[in-house]
Amino acid sequence: MPLPVWPASVPHMPHTHNIPEPFRGALESEMTAGNTRSRRTATVVIGVVDMTIRMTTAQFQTFKAFVRDTLSHGTADFQMPVWDLTGCPVRRVKLRNKGHYTPMRVGSEIDVSFSLDVWDL
């Protein structure tokens, strides 16, 4: 089943952007001999991207409907162009924090902040 796609009418370029975790940290286990064994958590690289996107009221309404209806209240994976500091490739992503996003009115527009899990960041 194909993944849903970010709505074309909603901007994807972030107003502010941060990559706090380019990949998940390693798991570490202490061994009885006193040393530590480290290993990666998964075979797929999943990074975290925090972003704020500035939207018009109409774009925000489309975004809200997309998260609520298409993504089942933000629980589904989807495809979105993600700024990775070199370009905007389309990546598989998922809203973090149980689909939570924070809207804030800025004049006539709305800044929407959220965190994404991004595959192959």
pTM: predicted TM-score of the whole model, two decimal places? 0.81
Residue 33 has a CB neighbour count (10 Å cut-off) of 6
* Residue 57: partners with Cβ closer than 8 Å, 6 or more residues away: 108, 109, 110
Helix, strand or coil for residue 59?
helix
* pLDDT tens for the chain, residues 1 to 121: 799 999 999 999 887 766 666 666 667 778 777 788 777 766 778 888 899 999 999 999 999 999 999 999 999 999 999 988 888 899 999 999 999 999 999 999 999 999 999 998 7
- Please state, in angstroms and rounded to a whole number, the distance separating the CA atoms of residues 72 and 37: 39
